[in-house]
Chain A
Amino acid sequence: MRTKVEVLTKSELDAIYQAALDILSGIGVNIEDNELIEILKKNGCTVGDNSIVYIPEKVVTRCLNSTPRGKVRLSGRDPSKDIVLEKDQKHPSVISHVLMNYYDELNNQYRTITRDDIKNFITVSDYLDTIDGNWMCTLMPDYGKLYTFYEYEIAIRNTTKPVCVSSFEPDSIPPTLELAEAVAGSKDELLKRPLTLAFCEVSPLTWNKYGCDMLKASSMWGIQPTITVETPMGDTGPVTYAGNIAQKIAELLSGLVIVQILQEGLPIAFVVPLETFDMRTAQICLASRPDYLYGLAVGQIEDYLDIPFISPVSPDSKLLDMQQAYELSFSMLSRILSNNKCLVIHGLDQTHAINNELLFLMDEIILSGRKMLEGIEVSEETLALEPLKEVAAKMEGSRRNGHFLNHRHTLKWFAKEQVPRKDNIIDKYRREKWIEMGSKSFVKRANEKVNEVLQGYTPEPLPKEIERVIEKIYVKYGIPLI
Chain B
Amino acid sequence: MNDYIKNINDAVIGYDIELVKKNVTDAINDGKDPIIIMNQGLSKAIVEIGEKFGKEEIFLVELMIAADACMAGVEIVKKSILDKKIAIQKPKGIIVVGTVLGDIHNIGKDILKTLLETSGFEVHDIGVDQPAENFIKKALEVNAKLIASSALLTTTAPHQKDIEENLKENNLKGKIKTIIGGAATSLSWSKEVGSDFYASTATEGISIIKKFFEGE
> Is A406 within 8 A of B61, CB to CB?
yes
Contact check, B127 vs A397: say whether CB atoms are below 8 A apart.
yes
Given contacts A411-B65, A433-B200, A433-B201, contact A403 B59 (CB under 8 A): no
Proximity bits, A368-410, B CB within 8 Å = 1, else 0: 0000000000000000000000000000110101010111101
How far apart are the CA atoms of A433 and B111 in the complex, in Å? 18
Enumerate chain B residues within 8 angstroms of A432, measured Cβ to Cβ.
186-187, 200
Residue of B nearest to A415 (CB): B59
In the complex, A283 Cα to B34 Cα: how many Å?
77
Closest approach, in angstroms, between the C-beta of A387 and any C-beta of chain B? 12
User: Contacts A411-B65, A433-B201; is A405 near B183 (CB within 8 Å)?
Assistant: no
Q: Evaluate contact between A422 and B56: CB separation under 8 angstroms.
A: yes
Q: Are A406 and B65 in contact (CB under 8 A)?
A: yes
Question: Are A414 and B59 in contact (CB-based, < 8 A)?
Answer: yes
B46 on the A face (CB < 8 A): no
A42 within 8 A of B: no
Bound Cα distance A430, B202 (Å): 13
Given A399-B104, A411-B15, A432-B187, are A405 and B60 also a contact pair (CB < 8 Å)? yes
- Complex interface bits, B118-133 against A, C-beta within 8 A gives 1, otherwise 0: 0000000001110000
Indicate if B107 sits at the interface (CB-CB under 8 A): yes
B135 to chain A, nearest CB (A): 16
- With a cutoff of 8 Å between Cβ atoms, the chain A residues found around residue B106 in the complex are 396, 401, 403
Q: Please, which residues of chain B bring their CB within 8 A of the CB of A415?
A: 59
A396 & B110 in contact (Cβ 8 Å cutoff): no
Q: Flag whether B117 is at the interface (Cβ < 8 A).
A: no
Q: How many interface residues does B have (CB within 8 Å)?
A: 25
Are the CB atoms of B59 and A420 closer together than 8 Å? Answer: yes
A61 to B68, CA, bound (A): 66
Does B195 lie at the interface of the complex (its beta carbon under 8 Å from any beta carbon of A)?
no
Per-position 1/0 for B43-59, Cβ under 8 A of A: 00000000000001101
CA distance A403 to B128 in the complex (A): 14
Q: Is the CB of B107 within 8 A of A405?
A: yes
Q: Which residues of A contact B127 (CB under 8 A)?
A: 396-397, 401
A406/B64 contact (C-beta < 8 A), A432-B186, A433-B201 known: yes
Q: What distance in Å separates the Cβ of A137 from its nearest Cβ neighbour in chain B?
A: 38
Alpha-carbon separation in the docked complex, A422 to B58 (Å): 8
Chain B, residue nearest A413 (CB): B61
Give the complex CA separation of A433 and B187 in angstroms: 10
A424 to chain B, nearest CB (A): 7
Given contacts A408-B65, A432-B186, A433-B200, A424 and B56 within 8 Å (CB-CB):
yes
A423 CB contacts on chain B under 8 angstroms: 56
Residues of chain A lying within 8 A (CB to CB) of residue B200: 430, 432-433, 436
Inter-chain contacts of A397 with B (CB < 8 A): 127
Kindly report which residue of chain B lies nearest to residue A396, judged by CB atoms. Answer: B127
Inside 8 A of B61's CB, which chain A residues have their CB?
405-407, 410-411, 414
Are the C-beta atoms of A405 and B128 separated by less than 8 Å?
no
Q: Which of A405, A423, A424 has the most CB of B within 10 A?
A: A405
Query: Which residues from 441 to 457 on chain A have a C-beta closer than 8 Å to any C-beta of chain B?
Result: none
Would you list 17 pairs from A and B whose C-beta atoms are within 8 A, ordered by A residue?
A396-B106, A396-B127, A397-B127, A401-B128, A405-B61, A405-B111, A406-B64, A406-B65, A407-B61, A410-B61, A411-B15, A414-B61, A422-B56, A422-B57, A423-B56, A430-B200, A432-B200
- Beyond the given A405-B64, A405-B111, please list 14 additional residue pairs across the A-B interface where CB-CB is below 8 A: A397-B127, A399-B104, A401-B104, A401-B106, A403-B106, A405-B60, A405-B107, A406-B61, A407-B61, A408-B15, A422-B57, A432-B200, A433-B201, A436-B200
